[in-house]
Amino acid sequence: MPKIQYRKLGNSDIKVTTLALGTWAFGADRWWGEQRDLDSQNTLYRAIELGINFIDTAPIYGNGHSEAVIGEALKKEKLREKVILATKAGLRWKASSPEESFYNLKKQSILEEVDDSLRRLQTEVIDLYQAHFPDPSTPIGETAQALYKLYQKGKIRAIGVSNFSVGQMREFMKFSALHSLQPRYSMFRREIESEILPFCIENNIAVLAYSPLDNAVLTGKFFFGQKIPQDKVRSINYDLEGENFRINKEAAIKLKAVASKYKKSLAQLALNWVVARRGLTCAIVGARRPAQIEENTGAAGWEIAKEDMENIESILGEREERIKKPLV
């Protein structure tokens, strides 16, 4: 298998692989549906064997279950020192109704969450701790100062935010160091390119792209015969709805032709494209089984030629002009 590159996590002293393992599915919740813990553990082990060192999770993934599965797996095989663990705070579930979540980035809540995550992950330090979503009810300064205190105490090694705007990051940086941003980004979701990505480049903030395959849309499998799963994630993805499905299928066929020139799959092309973008640090790719990790690592170790990059840009530009996005 190709060797995966390392990149610095912003201005921290941490180096992460350009492909990361996303573990939302490990939570085995309503969002991604049923998942066996043994499959999750074997997927984690295979990722490490293939050279991936960056593991991303969150407490909300299965109400702590994803973190617990990872913590137990790493302890059992004594693998903690081989990985960079990233988790999050600020998206909590109600004890009375675990399927209901709410934002809470208040200082006291963060202090509770970090200790819970350390316990479930069975570790003494979290490598990257991220505010999961902005919390409209909490001043950003309160959140930033709470995270910075954890950083100063050594409970966390780096500070990140996820789904924050430029304005929110600017406010955050008045009170704390900021090492990374985790935004949604893929060939089909490029909104960060206008303001967010230039800001992160200018301020040396690592950009960790989640959903780089657009919830498996960019694997192409839904366009070529595989039934779309009836899970919560796919039910709210507008790229799989109505006329958008046909538009995206046409684009996928053209992109698949580009991938075939390199003897690669559409998914491998899409991941390679993401990590090749200026300012991108890594692509966080979810996986349920070892075979999916093996497929994903085929995105590493090769480059898309300039003329093919231009062709891809043309394909994506045409798609963008036609796609119907929901009104915000």
Structure letter (DSSP) for residue 212: T
Contact at 8 Å (CB) between 6 and 76? no
- Catalytic: 238? no
Dist CA 175 CA 153 (whole Å): 16
Contact at 8 Å (CB) between 9 and 206? yes
Contact at 8 Å (CB) between 185 and 209? yes
DSSP 119-165: HHHT-S-BSEEEE-S--TTS-HHHHHHHHHHHHHHTSBS-EEEES--
Contact at 8 Å (CB) between 56 and 21? yes
Half-sphere exposure in the Cβ direction for 137 (13 Å, CA): 9
Q: Is 246 helix (H, G, I), strand (E, B) or coil?
A: helix
Q: Given 61, 129, 151, 210, which residue is catalytic?
A: 61
Q: Is 8 helix (H, G, I), strand (E, B) or coil?
A: strand
Q: Is 234 helix (H, G, I), strand (E, B) or coil?
A: helix
Q: Which residues are catalytic?
A: 61
